A and B are shown apart, each in its own frame.
Chain A
């Protein structure tokens, strides 16, 4: 039984309202999600330039593991090293407790996620890059380390 013209218009409105409610819900979830879970991502040089304002923040910093700076204690799983620019400049101390990532070694590019405290970064995750030769195939996932 076909609807009358009036009922049809009313219906269209109801569906537009329904769809708008869903869109609003999705937008709210995205907005709230970003507000509560986002963090800064800096190159090391950017980080060094702004670090005074970042005390206590949890963030990600990308840099290179400085040559000769790594110390690793197999008994306690404590890893300490300095994150620096590619040529070893402006080093920032990093402390991490956990599994030493497979591809972590001196001179490698890494991303450190952690809290910036007096004296350095307390890392909760260290992400190593793939070797530069590696172009990932579509859909592969990131090699990652830490937890």
Chain B
């Protein structure tokens, strides 16, 4: 069976290479049959990759330890869901999984565009197949997932215990989906440059894809944060590790694009900038994969060097050269005569939002590659850690939050004094009242204070938009309030869905600011019956319990939690000792409320004396991080849901497709 998988991957590579050639040739010479042939090749690639993936999955599920990959990342005692997750738990499998998603998206794009965008499609297909050729080549020539062991292993080495967690089941696929779907806007941008069809058609065609990619990058980042928070046990959710930054940078640039493309649609400006952002987003996804795979940047993560680094750098250089060359070639045609008229305009707010987002991406990039650069330039490795990223990004983040309040409410082109008063009097007043309340509550002046007050300002502008839109409908159409609100959102999904996403963003800002500024940390070594204090909580260590099964043994410290003289919870932080990769892990125990999380870690246990060391963190407002994520997801769904007009158009096309053609 594995030989069949290997064969499928090899064939897929051949078909993909053919798809590139036929697509480019068909596009340049305008031969429709060649273009169709390229598309059919892409379908075949998808089918072959599905077969290969199914075979690898089957080998995992049947514990076929003759395969190196299966023996390295699973075991016969690994629960089924994690055996499935082992498909992307290791490098080879993850590259195959990547190829699967890429060819799946290629298939969807081609089906969507059977009758549309015919001039662009040959190059879209060719670009996506070029990316597929790269990943498939790695699987064929460098790192074969179907490699057999010389002697079959009796038992697998098992999946890393840290990955045996349900967040880890959905975090990587989500992030991969975001990464890989960024290839679609990229392919359309390349096609637009190649054909010279530089108008709004390509941006309109990829609007949903760009949003889709962005949404999954957001989700993937948040799930990763959630995983780190629950599993790693150091009390935080984000550490500015290179691997985290790798996923954060494309998200930033993609966010910038989603904003600036609106200026292009509305005012026919920033065409060059938008192309650059799309190219950059894709390049950063490749760079991100490079970071996580190469070990060039010493993340605490990847001490193992996999040898794939040079291939990724090579591909990245190739992408940048081709894309840069095409861009330079079309530059004169991309320029448009429209210009900004005033700083006080929505397009200016969006432009500055873009500059700040790209600025943050630049700072993160710089901080991430600085150790390597300093080694090249000065011969000494110099690292920067979380303090660097926090210092640089906190002020930029505040500017961004402020602009999120300005952008939705300010007029296009040039805001009149009257528009400014009407748009901002209420929200500014709300922000000022909030600031006064914060001052009365003795919240110290600082980033958290500013974030809370600005957050209220932003919510003020958004609330005002909803309120005024609803009132206008009520007055003109005599609708009831809920109906008016529903219709308002339904008829302007993109706009109001976007506002909802901003509400989620405010929630996330508040969570980050609060949990950074007001976090309390305590650590003590206790014997049974001893107490310690963490913020307003009193913690009493009661006893230790232990349990053992075939897979692991666990040790739990029972801790009763008291506040104001009343017991409010019992928590049991654990240490687990996995048997296969002999390794202890820490299981955090948490009591989570909207106000704060009490986060307990069993630091160590000393059997002879019965002493435990407990670490307690009181992390304020962290729940709002996850709530913000849910709100963002909801807003994204509203934005992406097809409007009634689009549904009619799709129904029409489907009807046409059913009529026997020609």
Contact = CB atoms under 8 A, between A and B. Distances in A.
Interface of A: 3, 8, 11-12, 14-15, 18-19, 22-23, 25-26, 29-30, 32-34, 36-42, 60, 62, 74-77, 98-100, 102-103, 109, 111, 127-147
Contact of B241 (A23, A102, A109, A142): A142
Contact of B388 (A11, A12, A18, A33): A33
Given A40-B380, A138-B172, A26 B359 contact: yes
B21 interface: no
A3 B521 CA distance: 59
B604 A77 contact: yes
Contacts of A109: 303
Interface in B250-301: 288-289, 292-293, 298-301
B246 interface: yes
B604 A141 contact: no
Contact of B292 (A25, A136, A146): A136
B235 A147 contact: yes
B483 to A, nearest CB: 38
Nearest to A125: B385
Interface of B: 72, 88-91, 94, 157, 160, 162-163, 168, 171-172, 175-176, 179, 220-221, 224-225, 227-228, 232, 234-235, 238-239, 241, 243-244, 246-247, 288-289, 292-293, 298-304, 306, 339-343, 348, 351-352, 355-356, 359-360, 362-363, 366-367, 370-371, 380-385, 387-389, 391-392, 395-396, 521, 523, 525, 575, 581, 583-586, 601, 603-604, 606, 609, 611, 613, 615
23 contacts: A3-B341, A11-B342, A14-B343, A15-B339, A32-B391, A33-B392, A37-B387, A37-B388, A39-B385, A41-B298, A74-B606, A75-B609, A75-B611, A99-B613, A111-B298, A130-B303, A136-B292, A136-B301, A139-B246, A141-B241, A142-B232, A142-B241, A143-B162
Contacts of B575: 102
Nearest to B527: A75
A137 B575 CA distance: 23
Contacts of A76: 525
A132 B234 contact: no
Highest count of chain A CB atoms <10 Å: which of B179, B288, B387? B387
B300 A8 contact: no
The 9 closest A-B pairs by CB, nearest first: A74-B606, A99-B603, A142-B300, A26-B359, A141-B228, A41-B381, A129-B303, A137-B172, A37-B388
A130 B381 contact: no
Contacts of B584: 102-103
Contacts of A139: 171-172, 175, 220-221, 224, 243-244, 246-247, 292
A26 B603 contact: no
A88 to B, nearest CB: 19
Contacts of A60: 383
B521 A137 contact: no
Nearest to A43: B381
Contacts of B343: 14-15, 18
B569 to A, nearest CB: 22
Contacts of B243: 136, 138-142
Contacts of A34: 366-367, 370, 384, 388
B72 to A, nearest CB: 6
Contacts of B232: 141-144
A144 B234 contact: yes
Nearest to A18: B343
Contacts of B348: 15
A2 B575 CA distance: 69
Contacts of B220: 139
B611 A74 contact: yes
A103 B583 contact: yes
Contacts of B302: 130, 135-136
Contacts of A15: 339-340, 343, 348, 351
Highest count of chain A CB atoms <10 Å: which of B348, B355, B370? B355
A137 B176 CA distance: 10
A8 B339 contact: yes
Contacts of A11: 339-342
Given A77-B613, A103-B584, A144-B234, A111 B94 contact: no
Contact of B382 (A41, A136, A138): A41
A102 B234 CA distance: 11
A9 to B, nearest CB: 9
Contacts of A19: 351, 355
A135 B380 contact: no
B355 A131 contact: no
B584 to A, nearest CB: 5
A138 B179 contact: yes
Given A99-B604, A146-B234, A147-B235, 11 more contacts: A33-B367, A38-B370, A40-B382, A41-B298, A133-B72, A133-B160, A135-B90, A139-B220, A140-B227, A142-B243, A142-B300
A74 B524 CA distance: 11
B378 to A, nearest CB: 10
A66 to B, nearest CB: 18
B300 A75 contact: no
A111 B371 CA distance: 15
B381 A42 contact: yes
Given A38-B383, A41-B371, A29 B244 contact: no
Nearest to A34: B384
B237 to A, nearest CB: 8
Given A37-B384, A138-B94, A139-B244, A29 B392 contact: yes
B384 A38 contact: yes
Contacts of B292: 136-139
B392 A138 contact: no
A8 to B, nearest CB: 5
A108 to B, nearest CB: 10
A102 B391 contact: no
Contacts of A14: 343
A135 B352 contact: no
B383 A33 contact: no
B395 A29 contact: yes
